[in-house]
Amino acid sequence: MTKPINFASLAERIGVAFHDISILRAACTHRSYLNENKGAGLEHNERLEFLGDAVLELVVTTFLYRKYPDKAEGALTAYRSAIVNTVSLTKVAESISLGDFMLLSRGEAKDTGRARAVIVANAVEAVIGAIYLDQGYNAAANFISSHILEVIDIDVIVEQKSWIDAKSRFQERAQEKLGTTPTYKTLKETGPDHGKQFTLGVFLRDVQVATGSGMSKQEAEQQAAEKALEIKGW
């Protein structure tokens, strides 16, 4: 049986009057919920997430293109990555209490860690996809503008160079201070194929400096690099 959730209340929170509220429900339905509720007749949100990611990228790219007319493609790509990431999307999810409307398996519903943050961040992209399909590009762009672009101080990101990812920063520091390049090794893989969790270690020469975990190896590497920067005081 479908968990009783008032998706009209979520629509009100995000300021969108959906023609078809079922598309918003689909945006909030995680694959794990369907694994436990096979007869629910629902669609999980991964296709909407795929669509919403493309819409989000287009809106943010257009914004940056206009805001920084003198910046090269490489810099704009880096800025976009700093704006559109799991951290910022998780904050969007928190601002609209998206977690309260998610349809999850019992196991996923109990998780409050990094894996849960990734789920709700992905659901934000699915919601964007749902808005786009139901209301069109302008409505999706307005949501992105009000919940991301108007909230993040992009000039500070550019000024502080926080758009440079942790893995790149750690490599620069290691080469500068020790004359060596960090290496990353997979230490553990857990979970099913559709929800694997990777644990990687970052090494300087043969010494393990830190570990990181994530839903992808790239995410785990970034977390390991962030911890390594802190441990080394770089």
Average pLDDT over residues 100-110: 84
User: pLDDT confidence of 1, banded at 50, 70, 90?
Assistant: very low
User: pLDDT confidence of 108, banded at 50, 70, 90?
Assistant: confident
Residues above pLDDT 90, as percent of the chain: 61
More confident residue, 207 or 172: 207
Q: CB neighbours of 18 closer than 8 A, spacing ≥ 6?
A: 11, 24, 130, 134, 135
Range in 1-5, 15-19, 26-30, 72-76 with the lowest mean pLDDT: 1-5
Range in 25-29, 42-46, 130-134 with the lowest mean pLDDT: 42-46
Rounded to two decimals, the pTM is 0.72
Catalytic one of 49, 125, 219, 226:
125
Query: Cβ distance 135 to 18 under 8 Å?
Result: yes
Position 66 scores a pLDDT of 96
Position 160 scores a pLDDT of 66
Whether residue 77 is predicted with pLDDT greater than 70 in this model: the reply is: yes
Q: CB neighbours of 38 closer than 8 A, spacing ≥ 6?
A: none
Q: Quick count: other Cβ atoms within 10 Å of Cβ 149? A: 16
Residues paired with 183 in a beta bridge = 203
Q: What are 113-151's pLDDT values in tens digits?
A: 666 788 999 999 999 999 999 999 999 999 999 999 988
Domain boundaries, the chain: 7-160, 166-232
Whether residue 3 is predicted with pLDDT greater than 60 in this model: the reply is: no
More confident residue, 133 or 2: 133
Query: Cβ distance 166 to 229 under 8 Å?
Result: yes
Catalytic one of 12, 43, 49, 53:
53
Active site residue 46: no
Position 206 scores a pLDDT of 92
Structural class in CATH, domain 166-232: alpha beta
Whether residue 67 is predicted with pLDDT greater than 70 in this model: the reply is: yes
Average pLDDT over residues 33-59: 91
Name the token pair of 163: 């758009």
Active site residue 36: no
Whether residue 161 is predicted with pLDDT greater than 90 in this model: the reply is: no
Residues above pLDDT 70, as percent of the chain: 94
User: pLDDT confidence of 2, banded at 50, 70, 90?
Assistant: very low
Structural class in CATH, domain 7-160: mainly alpha
Whether residue 154 is predicted with pLDDT greater than 50 in this model: the reply is: yes
Position 14 scores a pLDDT of 93
**Nearest to residue 203, comparing CAs of 187, 184, 189?**
184
